[in-house]
Chain A
Amino acid sequence: DSGVTQTPKHLITATGQRVTLRCSPRSGDLSVYWYQQSLDQGLQFLIQYYNGEERAKGNILERFSAQQFPDLHSELNLSSLELGDSALYFCASSVATRAGPGNTIYFGEGSWLTVV
């Protein structure tokens, strides 16, 4: 158990709908990262938050948004869903915002999203 909790574990929804994925980081971790893993794209970084503020942005679509709340949990909102958004979405957390010695990044078990 990495200590990173993601809900829901599985989600099936229709095209055009909106879903919210939730993540609770490890106790004491201030950074939260979101990754998308699809069959044809591998593991892609979406976005990072540190202590409530956006710190880095990757290949995140405009239809997707995220935020980190004062209690440090994070939510990833996916809207106007398309078939191609079907993927495994991972949340990860670490202590620091910048890479450095000891800043191991731990991953949750992921949320499987299927868009039909």
Chain B
Amino acid sequence: GIQVEQSPPDLILQEGANSTLRCNFSDSVNNLQWFHQNPWGQLINLFYIPSGTKQNGRLSATTVATERYSLLYISSSQTTDSGVYFCAATGTASKLTFGTGTRLQVTL
């Protein structure tokens, strides 16, 4: 099945800083999603982005399907952005395969 790798595993930012999270996948994808898991465990959909670029407020994502990677940009980070960011993808199967996540801590 498809393999999903994320980097960096951990990230500490000061409030107001920008960051880029990366997701590499091993095969062609039909679906790629970014999630934020907050400290209470909730998995929140950020983007459905199998290709192209999308923006939602301070967050944006770009997937370059031909080169098998996706990037999540967080600008002007806030403490509420803390948590774990997951990239997940499907190949020919419909189930999402998750990466191991990037744990982000935003400090004052």
The interface of chain A, by Cβ under 8 A from chain B, is 2, 31, 33, 42-43, 45, 48, 55-56, 58, 88, 90, 92, 94, 96-107, 109-110, 112
- Listed A/B pairs (24) with beta-carbon separation below 8 Å: A2-B44, A31-B94, A33-B95, A43-B86, A45-B95, A48-B95, A55-B94, A56-B93, A58-B95, A92-B96, A98-B30, A99-B93, A99-B94, A101-B50, A102-B48, A104-B31, A104-B33, A104-B45, A104-B48, A105-B31, A105-B96, A107-B35, A110-B41, A112-B41
- Report the Cα distance A42→B92, complex, angstroms: 22
The smallest C-beta distance from B26 to any residue of chain A, in angstroms, reads 15
Q: Are A98 and B41 in contact (CB under 8 A)?
A: no
Give 1 or 0 for each of B81-100: 1 = CB within 8 Å of chain A CB: 00000101011111111101
The smallest C-beta distance from B1 to any residue of chain A, in angstroms, reads 9
The interface of chain B, by Cβ under 8 A from chain A, is 30-31, 33, 35, 41-45, 48, 50, 86, 88, 90-98, 100-101
Q: Are B91 and A110 in contact (CB under 8 A)?
A: no
The smallest C-beta distance from A46 to any residue of chain B, in angstroms, reads 9
Q: Which 10 A-B pairs have the closest CB atoms?
A: A99-B30, A99-B90, A43-B98, A107-B43, A104-B48, A99-B31, A45-B95, A99-B94, A98-B94, A109-B42
The smallest C-beta distance from B12 to any residue of chain A, in angstroms, reads 20
Set of chain B residues within 8 Å of A96, measured between Cβ atoms: 94
Taking A42-B98, A103-B30, A104-B45 as given, write out 7 further A-B residue pairs in contact, using a Cβ cutoff of 8 Å, ordered by the A residue number. Answer: A2-B45, A43-B88, A43-B98, A97-B94, A103-B31, A104-B48, A109-B42
Set of chain B residues within 8 Å of A109, measured between Cβ atoms: 41-42
- The total number of A-B Cβ pairs within 8 Å is 62
Set of chain A residues within 8 Å of B43, measured between Cβ atoms: 90, 107, 110
Specify which of B30, B31, B44 lies most central, judged by the most chain A CB atoms within 10 Å of its CB.
Answer: B31
